[in-house]
Amino acid sequence: MLDISNDVAAELAGIGDGVLDSLRDRLDCNIRLRGNRLTIEGDETHVAEARAVVDELVELVESGHEIGPSTVDAVLGALDQAHDIREVFEDVVWRHRGKKIAPKTVTQKQYVDMIRNYTVTFAIGPAGTGKTYLAMALAVAALQERQVSRIILTRPAVEAGERLGFLPGDLLAKVDPYLRPLFDALYDMLDAEKVMRYMETGVVEVAPLAFMRGRTLNDSFIILDEAQNTSPEQMQMFLTRLGFGSKVVITGDVTQVDLPREQASGLIQVQTILEGVDGIGFVRFTHQDVVRHKLVQRIVEAYKRHAEETGTQRSR
């Protein structure tokens, strides 16, 4: 039995009781909150683990952090890997209008550190793990701190079998469906007027991957999103655009390849070619790093199991 403060009780009981539900699901204990009193019942091992998690959650709340159901997974991951959870949550990458963007899992923290310390970082894993969003936040921070002079955001335009030539409108209208998630993240981190000004002056460039050919990209923070949909030739072309003073982040989910079955994925192939090369880092996310609705975690894991059981996962 634990006596906790009003603030901690409010956080644990909030979000539709999601934190307590997550504690019960993950820790296999009977956990009840009545007023300021938290009761944990179960076998000795599970109760001890639950107590350790609750202690960490209490410290997070008391140091000013908001918590949610995904925080329970983050704390469990940190405890498993002997991490100080505050090191994860307090590594604020970017602030905008009172909103703080920081890692929410141990793997996200490793990803942020790798981007800072490596020239080229590959982030591979399922949707909802924060691959693109955190990379975008680091790009905006690098621009504001004058570590780079521009941000370049790109994606291969192959989703849903559509081709640019068949879409209506001018170039911007044609590429908008492919690049919209990048715009959304950008507008989440900067005022709309600043985004428009940056785009008009070329400080921020958003373009399909095909537009990278023949260029050398110096003093830039470059993000290639949805890289599972590149061919090996496109991946090589993109990587060789790297210029001086630049940083590259490549994100993708190798279970969501939209290329024809006979077409190899550049992101799958590049792992065997570049793994271990100095200055290049690989971060691999799993369903446990999904920070969206907990149902997304279950969907991702179910599809992964189905692919393994049916042998339908791509190997090239």
Q: Is the dihedral of CA 162, 297, 74, 83 positive or negative?
A: negative
124 in the same domain as 236: yes
- Regarding whether 285 and 146 lie in a shared domain, the answer is yes
- Say whether pLDDT at 259 is over 70: yes
Number of domains in the chain: 2
| Averaged pLDDT for residues 115-125 | 97
The overall average pLDDT reported for the chain is: 83
Res. 84: pLDDT tops 80? no
Whether residue 35 is found in the same domain as residue 53: yes
Question: CA 119, CA 242: separation in Å to the nearest integer?
Answer: 9
More confident position, 232 or 80: 232
**Residues 113, 61 share a domain:** no
Q: How far apart are CA 152 and CA 130, in angstroms?
A: 18
Which residues lie closer than 8 Å to 243 by C-beta, 6 or more apart? 216, 217, 218, 219, 220
Q: Quote the CA–CA distance of 238 and 222 in Å, as a whole number.
A: 10
Q: Which tokens sit at 17? A: 């009781």
Same structural domain, 76 and 155? no
Q: Which residues of 192-230 are buried (b: 16+ CB within 10 A; e: fewer)?
A: eeebeebbeeeebbbbbbeebeeeebeebbbbbbbbbbb
The pLDDT value recorded for residue 160 is 39
CA–CA gap between residue 246 and residue 283 (Å, rounded): 19
pLDDT at position 118 is 97
Stretch 29-47: mean pLDDT, rounded? Answer: 85
Q: What is the CATH number of the domain that holds 218?
A: 3.40.50.300
Q: Is the pLDDT of residue 302 over 70?
A: yes
Where residue 33 falls among pLDDT bands split at 50, 70, 90?
confident
Residue 2 is encoded by which pair of tokens? 């634990």
pLDDT band at 241 (very low <50, low <70, confident <90, very high): very high
Helix (H, G, I), strand (E, B) or coil at 64: coil
Can you give the pLDDT at residue 22? 75
pLDDT higher than threshold 90 for residue 59: no
**154/285 same-domain check:** yes
